[in-house]
Structure 1
Amino acid sequence: MASYDVIIIGSGPGGYVCAIRCAQLGLKTAVVEGRETLGGTCLNVGCIPSKALLHASHMLHEAEHNFAKMGLKGKSPSVDWKQMLAYKDDVIGQNTKGIEFLFKKNKIDWLKGWGSIPEAGRVKVGDETHEAKHLIIASGSESSSLPGVEIDEKVVVTSTGALELPKVPKTMVVIGAGVIGLEMGSVYARLGSEVTVVEYLDAITPGMDGEVQKNFQKILKKQGIKFVMGAAVQSVDALKTKAKVNYKLRKDDSEHQLDADVVLVATGRKPYVDGLGLDSLGVEMTERGQIKTDDHWQTSVKGVYAIGDAIEGPMLAHKAEDEGMAVACVLAGQHGHVNYGVIPGVIYTHPEVANVGETEENLKDQGRAYKVGKFSFMGNGRAKANFAGEGFVKILADKETDRILGAHIIGPMAGDLIHEICVAMEFGAAAEDLALTCHAHPTYSEAVREAALACGDGPIHS
């Protein structure tokens, strides 16, 4: 029986980051992983491969729509779908091998196989049982479906199947207008598919700032994506090579049908805890099937911790990473810190969409007095030069103290720009602090400064 200080179940962003930090802090560490490669959903069938396809399809869009405007003449490139998938697989391979290298570098043992917890302090992998002072569950999540919708990963697919379709479909119906649905819908729309998004609610990207939702949907419509809002999907009839999506409109209960070559079910994700033995172990769960934890990420069973998608909170890789590092610090006798009020969210369409902190709707519900500083990318010289003038930066600040409460960006590199505001919020900065900080010209980041200026005496270029 092998003995460790820490055994982590799952090698996704939460698990592998936690393992590396544990090892760096002097703890003898092992990770249980049943896949053939490390990195979990994110690196294998999630964040990384989807970004590869988003990048490739955006390059195609630029060649088709903007190259000629810049004096780059010639025949538009054709799509070699097999080569694009090979490029995506190569990106996955580079990243997963990178994690394997980091495990070896930090002397972390990879216990290959699927793990279960027969009792606190022990993990069973295959026929072997391993002992540890602390166990950390970082088992991640899996795609959730709807009643009446059966996934076959061929015609009716989750994001996993959407990353390896044998060909680009002529028509695609996406069920769900959240992050995954809009990103993958964007990929196939750029590649020539006729994409229709069916959403139960009346707005896309649930939980985001209302102004962002409206503007983002307008931009996606201009890109050719169709939307059916307020629609409750009743069933999906999968035939050999096609599918029929049956739905009812909530406003009048009328029944409708859509035909598609491929149906992407993007209705969210749920914790993946099957086979861990949590029931017999006595681990408390929430009503939504998440693992309950205390302020130090410990479950109801002493010595057993949980992080990432398996517990409450946004299902984001970087949230899992933060929790992984924090738990490692706790186990090493240090203070583990995660500021849940400053966790950014990003949608990697074009333009990108990013947010952090409060929305206007939240602040109104709280009855908090606030002010809005907003700046359009059409006033940003770099954005105009790069055909990226759609969108805006919006900063929300306390009306009395000017402290930044939240920010919302639609525009070029929004996923990178948001971090300037994250750092400012982490330090409790005022909008004026951003406004008085010199920003290089010409950069997209000047739009952030202009939005901060708009919280005070006004922006310069608007």
Structure 2
Amino acid sequence: MDYDMLVIGSGPSGRRAAVQSAKLGKAVLVVDRGRRLGGVSVHTGTIPSKTLRETVLNLSGWRERGFYGRGYRVKQDILVGDLIERLHKTLDHEVEVLQHQFMRNTVKSARAAVKFLGPNRASLTTDTGDYSEVGFAHALIAVGTRPHRPRDVPFDKTRVFDSDEMLELERLPRTLTVTGAGVIGVEYATIFSALDVPVTLVEPRNTILDFVDREIVDDFIHQMRDRGMTIRLGSAIKEIASKPDYAEVTLADGRTIRSE
């Protein structure tokens, strides 16, 4: 079958391009090889981390601690299951909204891997091996992003995780080291700190969040340290190792940081 627009990826860019094309009367096919529609934003990026953050702030009683004291919690024993349950409810709702939006605008969708065969033709291959071809007048590649995974870092989903894999934790760690104090690193560091997990945040540069006003960042760093976080700025990382009972980060100056 031929389409006016082939959209590869169903994240924010893909879904908006698909719906807008359909509103202009175009025949649109959205193809995503993920398990469900939604792309990175729904399943591994923005919405999961924000849902996790809000769930933690709610269950930990963080916003009320200024009044009730630092020991206050809405739920005393917070488990990973509590976080995942709320996360799945939110993701299910987002996927349903997207599916309804596609249906309302007559946007077709398929779960498959795409390969271009020519300027106006592509093949679709599903996980089960089913093969088909489609023609198109225009195509948009909106496949999203994935975490940077240096080859010398032993990602094993047991002791060492990337930012996507943090959503698959089986239990809360007793201690945590976050390497990299960008937006995502700081976000996860503060989330687990709110759960009273001792967190060490390591950043090779001497500053963090350079796009934010310095006075705000300085106060933010003070607040993170005040809540018990250890922040090591200007600390280059030499090696990350996964041990049987802990993960170990070796800094360029020879110091080591161990965490679960």
Q: Tell me whether 1:168 sits opposite 2:172 in the alignment.
A: yes
In 1: Cα distance, 2:115 partner to 2:236 partner:
38
Q: Tell me whether 1:123 sits opposite 2:122 in the alignment.
A: yes
Counterpart position of 1:68: 68
- Give the TM-score taking structure 2 as reference length: 0.90
CA RMSD between the two structures: 1.8
What pairs with 1:31-180 in structure 2 (closer than 5 Å)? 31-59=30-58, 60-62=60-62, 65-68=65-68, 76-78=74-76, 79-126=78-125, 127-180=131-184
Cα drift, residue 63 of structure 1: 6.6
Q: Is the 2:55–2:86 contact (alpha carbons within 8 Å) kept by the matching residues of 1?
A: no
Counterpart position of 1:315: none
In 1: Cα distance, 2:15 partner to 2:54 partner:
25
Question: CA distance change for structure 1 residues 52 and 108 in 2, over 3 Å: closer, same or farther?
Answer: same
Query: In the TM superposition, what whole-angstrom CA distance separates every residue of 1:177-203 from its partner, at most 9, and x where no partner exists?
Result: 011111111111111211111101101
Q: Is the 2:18–2:30 contact (alpha carbons within 8 Å) kept by the matching residues of 1?
A: yes
Q: Is the 1:238–1:244 contact (alpha carbons within 8 Å) kept by the matching residues of 2?
A: yes
In 2: Cα distance, 1:199 partner to 1:75 partner:
30
SS at 1:140 equivalent: coil
In 1: Cα distance, 2:143 partner to 2:153 partner:
25
Alignment gaps of 5+ in structure 2: 126-130
Cα drift, residue 67 of structure 1: 4.9
Whose relative contact order is higher, 1 or 2, with alpha carbons under 8 Å and at least 6 apart? 2
Query: In the TM superposition, what whole-angstrom CA distance separates every residue of 1:134-186 from its partner, at most 9, and x where no partner exists?
Result: 01000111100335212223321112111121111111000100111111111
What pairs with 1:249-268 in structure 2 (closer than 5 Å)? 254-261=253-260
Q: Tell me whether 1:211 sits opposite 2:222 in the alignment.
A: no
Q: Is the 1:81–1:168 contact (alpha carbons within 8 Å) kept by the matching residues of 2?
A: yes
Question: CA distance change for structure 1 residues 62 and 243 in 2, over 3 Å: closer, same or farther?
Answer: closer
SS at 2:94 equivalent: helix
Question: CA distance change for structure 1 residues 76 and 67 in 2, over 3 Å: closer, same or farther?
Answer: farther
| Residue identity in the other structure for 1:138 | A
Question: CA distance change for structure 1 residues 236 and 28 in 2, over 3 Å: closer, same or farther?
Answer: same
Query: In the TM superposition, what whole-angstrom CA distance separates every residue of 1:88-118 from its partner, at most 9, and x where no partner exists?
Result: 1111111112111111111111121111222
Cα drift, residue 219 of structure 1: 2.1
Question: CA distance change for structure 1 residues 115 and 75 in 2, over 3 Å: closer, same or farther?
Answer: closer
Q: Is the 1:44–1:96 contact (alpha carbons within 8 Å) kept by the matching residues of 2?
A: no
Alignment gaps of 5+ in structure 1: 249-253, 262-462
Query: In the TM superposition, what whole-angstrom CA distance separates every residue of 1:314-338 from its partner, at most 9, and x where no partner exists?
Result: xxxxxxxxxxxxxxxxxxxxxxxxx
| Residue identity in the other structure for 1:214 | D
Cα drift, residue 75 of structure 1: 7.3
- Give the TM-score taking structure 1 as reference length: 0.52
In 1: Cα distance, 2:115 partner to 2:243 partner:
38
In 1: Cα distance, 2:41 partner to 2:237 partner:
28
Query: In the TM superposition, what whole-angstrom CA distance separates every residue of 1:415-447 from its partner, at most 9, and x where no partner exists?
Result: xxxxxxxxxxxxxxxxxxxxxxxxxxxxxxxxx
Question: CA distance change for structure 1 residues 10 and 241 in 2, over 3 Å: closer, same or farther?
Answer: farther
Counterpart position of 1:200: 204
In 2: Cα distance, 1:64 partner to 1:39 partner:
34
SS at 2:15 equivalent: helix
Tell which structure's C-alpha radius of gyration is larger: 1
